[in-house]
Amino acid sequence: GEDVEQSLFLSVREGDSSVINCTYTDSSSTYLYWYKQEPGAGLQLLTYIFSNMDMKQDQRLTVLLNKKDKHLSLRIADTQTGDSAIYFCAETPRLNYGGATNKLIFGTGTLLAVQP
């Protein structure tokens, strides 16, 4: 079955690095995404990684993908108070015949609290 799991809460000090973790069950997933949601707002796409990659870096964000363990992580360097939000991991599973779907399976989100 399709399932995405995340820890519920992470607290870090301003300036430290944050690492948000995600595990998924569908080993045939095509893309894996990280979205950010601020209070009362929609989801903002942060970054994504294709399943044949193991790392992607974009400014302060680093995504690591371990396909063997079905583990995805998002590292935020030099975390700022403006990074406080809920972070969602999401995957796009493949169809039985191997084609990609555009259906997103979301985790429950990790609340990142940045202490000044």
Binding residues for another protein, rule: CB under 8 A, are 4, 8, 31, 33, 35, 40-45, 48, 88, 92, 100, 102-104, 106-109
Q: How far is CA 112 from CA 30, 54, 67, in A?
A: 26, 24, 25
Residue 44 or 81 with smaller CB distance to another protein: 44
For the bound state, the minimum distance from the C-beta of residue 74 to another protein, rounded and expressed in Å, comes to 16
Q: Would you list the DSSP string of 47-91?
A: EEEETT-SEEEETTEEEEEETTTTEEEEEESS--GGG-EEEEEEE
For the bound state, the minimum distance from the C-beta of residue 19 to another protein, rounded and expressed in Å, comes to 20
For the bound state, the minimum distance from the C-beta of residue 38 to another protein, rounded and expressed in Å, comes to 10
